[in-house]
Amino acid sequence: MMTTGLTRTDVRGLLLEHGITPTKQRLEIAQILFARPQHLSAEQVLSRLNEERPKASKATIYNTLGLFAQKGLVRELIVDPTKIFYDSNTSDHHHFYNVDTGKLFDVPADSNMVVDNLPNLPDGTVAESVDIIFRIKNKSN
């Protein structure tokens, strides 16, 4: 699902569609996330939200992002134990994570990547998704 460039009214409707009460802070956080396709950390959302004056606490940001991920509005991507990104594009796609720059970006859709020969799943389980994150670094010259 690609939800970008939404008006405040659109964002309110999107939250309601997903069973989320559209509080002022949730609306503002959603507007930041859905301004364009992007990968943001909680710290980046907090910084953007509080640029002019404090509007939300760190706990509010983390709780809201967790709720949005749980309800399927964003994808939560854990790139390492200390770094989590929230992706406004919830469609199936994979990522590159540059460990030198800390940037996360999409593998191009036209890459024709095929994930083959997956292992047998444990009894009583089904696959929910496959997330591949390629950890890359800058070449040394």
The per-residue pLDDT for range 28-86, each reduced to its tens digit, is 999 999 988 899 999 999 999 988 778 889 999 999 999 999 999 999 999 988 899 99
Say what the pLDDT of residue 80 is: 85
- Note down the domain range covering 122: 95-136
pLDDT in tens, 84-93: 999 998 888 8
**Same domain membership, residue 14 and residue 75:** yes
Domain identity same for 76 and 122: no
* Domain match, 99 and 79 both: no
**Do both 69 and 101 map to the same domain?**
no
The answer to whether position 124 is within a domain reads yes
CB-based burial, 25-43: b 16+ in 10 Å, e otherwise: bbebbbbbbbeeebbbbbe
Q: Are 52 and 40 in contact (CB under 8 A)?
A: no
* 140 or 68: which leads in pLDDT: 68
What Å distances lie between residue 18 and 11, 71, 73, 140, CA to CA?
A: 11, 6, 8, 46
Sign of the C-alpha dihedral computed for residues 94, 98, 104 and 110 taken in this order:
negative
What pLDDT was estimated at residue 3?
A: 59
Residues 14 and 34 in one domain: yes
